[in-house]
Amino acid sequence: MTAFRFSRVAMLRRSRAMVSSTRLWKSRLVFWTGALAIGAISVGFAKAADFAQRTFATFAGTEEFRYAPLLITPLGFVLCAWLAWRYFPGTQGSGIPQAIAARHLRDVPDRGGMLSLRIAVGKVFLTVAGMFCGASIGREGPTVQVGASIMMLSGRFGGIAEGRGLILAGSAAGIAAAFNTPLAGIVFAIEEMSRSYKARTNGIVLSTVIIAGVASLAILGNYTYFGKSHVVLDQARDWVLVLSCGLAGGVMGAIFSRGVLSVSRRMRRWRGASPRSKMLLLALVAGIITAIVGVGSGGETWGTGYEQARSAIEGEAPPASFFLFKLISTLVATVSGIPGGLFAPSLSVGAGLGSSVALALGSDIGLAAILGMAAYFAGVTQAPMTAIVIIIEMTGGHDIIVPVMAAAMLGYGTARVITPEPLYAALSRPFIADALRQVRAREAALRAAEKAAEAAMETTSAAPEPGAPQPPARG
């Protein structure tokens, strides 16, 4: 009984100390400010990206400028790649691999230069610039890197030492604010970013997602990303559609993932001793392919593909070839070296794939689009729980949660057989290797400087002092 009273008194004292501690409240205030900033910046990022995408689509859709993208898009790719290489290194690609790599580099100063205010600014600016030239990219993956960078900066100001927890929280808040899907942000943090869930970081993740979500809702209001879907699975033959979409989504997702990894590894070896010129050549080729596919498809593949995905969910199928053209455009943009994500383009590929399957089977297009999104997204990322939650939250399709779960798990299982290595985890390894090489190079240079200093000191101590008697010369 005495021990219990002592424990209770100790807990009360600790609670009072935590409530009255100026240092802790300062840390919380800075932390909450960072979370609010993620929500506000995500909204601004979304508006800028939507404006850029609409502007380019309107421009390229006019008859007199129909073929202008054949020049503008390749030059835009080259400019974005050069700016990323010259002024904003570390912003290339989605940004999720950089955030994953930074979580592994707990002992590397500045997390290997992958998370910073400069990178956050460059990521937003160059992603929007990529959309201004028609690249098949999204803003959701970049928002993860931006959110993690903001939380790391807030942690430095507030004296919060748990860097890995801050990266996890910022990444989750980025996804939650970008899609207005708070549960998906939490699941993404658990499944994709950490592959585990630790009690010491769950409070940080939850509070950051909530605060960032409140900031986003205060500006944009309550909405679902793709509107409200009212489709249901009410026939036994619809399970054939679930099976078909699940398998097709998994196969195509694995093909995309394997294609990205294969091209990225080959390009990494090919760049060799002259990385800048070859990097710009790669961006040029990617821009040319994007322009040809975009013009050839009548402008269907520009940007995120949001309009096509929403139309498919509402029952209006895009052209049967849309998903294949969009997959090619997204693949070349992903490996081109320009900043930009693949979340939204992947969802549009999945919606197009599902609607094509529905046309072949004579099934409901809206239902098939949602199932295709879940299966393909799970196949690309190999994160089925994130796919399930994000699709349900974005479409409001709670009546079909079981079919969506089945399609996502089928897509994940199929992709896992074809490509065992998860895409983002594999893409994060070169960033980890580069950061560790830089650390070892700095350590080697420091050791060499220390040895040179020791040698200089030994030489100085061995030399005779000025004015000291010299030994007599022999002979």
At 231, which helix (H) or strand (E)? none
In a domain, 438, yes or no: no
Which of 426, 444, 464 lies at the terminal end of a domain, its last residue?
426
Per-residue pLDDT at 17 exceeds 50: no
- Residue 457, classified by CB atoms within 10 Å of its CB into exposed (0-12), middle (13-18) or buried (19+), is exposed
Residues 175 and 305 in one domain: no
* Paired tokens of 23: 């240092």
Q: What is the pLDDT of residue 357?
A: 93
Q: pLDDT-based confidence at 199, cuts 50/70/90?
A: very low
Q: What does the alpha-carbon distance between residue 304 and residue 370 come to, in Å, rounded to a whole number?
A: 17
Residues ≥6 apart with Cβ < 8 Å to 106: 163, 164
Do residues 70 and 156 both lie within one domain?
yes
458 located within any domain: no
Q: Is residue 469 part of a domain?
A: no
Single residue among 188, 220, 252 that ends a domain in this structure: 220
What pLDDT is stored for residue 221 in this prediction? 59
474 within some domain: no
Q: What is the mean pLDDT of residues 331-341?
A: 93
Q: Is the pLDDT of residue 473 over 80?
A: no
Do 157 and 296 lie in a common domain? no
Same-domain pairing of 338 and 409: yes
**Per-residue model confidence (pLDDT) at position 110:** 55
Do 188 and 253 have their domain in common?
no
Backbone φ/ψ region at 299: left (φ over 0), alpha (ψ -120 to 50), beta: left
Domain hosting residue 163, numbered range = 26-220
How far, CA to CA in Å, does 416 sit from each of 212, 376, 379, 413, 423?
Answer: 33, 12, 8, 5, 11
Name the percent of the chain lying above pLDDT 90.
34
Shared domain check, 262 and 209: no
User: Are 184 and 262 in a shared domain?
Assistant: no
* 3 lies in some domain: no
Question: pLDDT tens for residues 96-154?
Answer: 898 888 887 765 555 657 888 899 999 999 999 999 999 999 988 899 899 888 888 88
User: What is d(CA 140, CA 253) in angstroms, rounded to the nearest whole number?
Assistant: 18
- Predicted TM-score of the model (pTM): 0.84
Note whether residue 357 is domain-resident. Answer: yes
The domain that contains 184 carries what CATH number? 1.10.3080.10
Separation between Cα atoms, residue 203 and residue 211, nearest integer Å: 12
Q: What is the pLDDT of residue 137?
A: 94
Give the burial string for 336-372 (b: 16+ CB within 10 Å, else e). Answer: bbbbbbbbbbbbbbbbbbbbbbbeeeebbbbbbbbbb
Residues 251 and 279 in one domain: yes
Same domain as 209, residue 250: no
Whether residue 203 is found in the same domain as residue 255? no
Same domain, 44 and 187: yes
- pLDDT of 433 reads 82
Residue pointed to by tokens 């299982």:
413
Together in a domain, 216 and 242:
no
Would you state the pLDDT for residue 200?
Answer: 44
Which residue among 389, 404, 426 closes a domain?
Answer: 426
Residue 190 has pLDDT above 80, yes or no: no
Q: Is residue 73 in a domain? A: yes
Is 7 part of any domain?
A: no
Least confident window among 44-53, 267-276, 393-402, 433-442:
267-276
Residues 330 and 349 sit within 8 Å (Cβ to Cβ): yes
Number of domains observed in the structure of the chain: 2
Give the pLDDT mean for 194-222.
56
Q: What is the pLDDT of residue 400?
A: 83
pLDDT at 390 > cutoff 90: no
pLDDT reading at 18 higher than 50: no
